[in-house]
Structure 1
């Protein structure tokens, strides 16, 4: 059985988005391991899944809970993509108004409309390309939030 490595969620988010995150909700989490000893889920103290660890590269995918936490904790437009229209399953580049230019291809991003978090998903192109391109896919939506509350 492989040795279990201690995972720091704060360090993983810092690596993904390039900004040190200070968030008390992410300090009290635990890691759930698979039967082979590899990390699979990051769970909060109430037992809700916050992140899933991708087995292919070790990056984190968001859940609805973690998207809300990161929306509040990430400064400015870091990790965020601002759109003009509500997405269905895909956000297209022509609907992107602004985006974090340092956002990498293949990581999860927060989709924002009118300064409200409306969805989250995996980026298809980089943040810089979302702004400059006017056609093609920008983000594959993984989940939507009920933002009209």
Structure 2
């Protein structure tokens, strides 16, 4: 199962991300149907495999591991400093707050939300393509799943 999780991460985020996210100490839980569902390290969730498409959603820990591994601007959406505290608590990152974005990001992908200083703020699902995030001034850009300051 560990090999499968690493393959999914490498496919989704790029070569090497599987090992960065899932070390040898990774444990996993299966769904009722026997499929890979949750991946943990020391009892803390790293990621969940989405049932609808088999891709990963990251927890705050998973986002931090990926952030530490991937060089900027990979998988990153940069937001303004003044809204970072709101987004870090799990608030939506709106298009008008986006300063820059990795041009390789696609709508629907899991992304890392960082502030202008490069600090990890949250992880979530990109709603818009990079060009749209930069051009549109209304609506959500990233639906935040896990903020770094959530209790």
Q: TM-score range by the shorter chain?
A: 0.7 to 0.9
2:105 corresponds to which residue?
103
Alignment counterpart, residue 127 of structure 1, candidates 127, 130, 145: 130
Which structure features the higher share of helix residues? 2
Residue 136 (1) aligns with residue 139 (2): yes
Gaps in structure 1 of 5+ consecutive residues: none
Q: CA deviation at 1:26?
A: 2.1
Alpha-carbon separation, structure 2, partners of 1:39 and 1:14: 16
1:62 corresponds to which residue?
58
Residue 77 (1) aligns with residue 73 (2): yes
Superposition TM-score, scaled by structure 1 size: 0.82
Q: More displaced, 77-86 or 23-32?
A: 23-32
1:63-111 residue CA offsets vs partner (Å, 9 max, x unmatched)? 0111111110112211111000222621111110111111122222111
Alignment counterpart, residue 116 of structure 1, candidates 115, 119, 122: 119
| Kept in 2: contact 1:100–1:128 (CA 8 A) | no
| Kept in 2: contact 1:83–1:111 (CA 8 A) | yes
Instruction: Say how many residue pairs are matched.
Output: 141
Superposition TM-score, scaled by structure 2 size: 0.81
1:37-62 residue CA offsets vs partner (Å, 9 max, x unmatched)? 11111122x23210011000001001
Gaps in structure 2 of 5+ consecutive residues: none
| Kept in 2: contact 1:104–1:125 (CA 8 A) | yes
2:15 corresponds to which residue?
20
| Kept in 2: contact 1:98–1:131 (CA 8 A) | yes
C-alpha RMSD of the superposition: 2.2
SS at match of 1:72: helix
SS at match of 1:8: helix
1:36 corresponds to which residue?
33
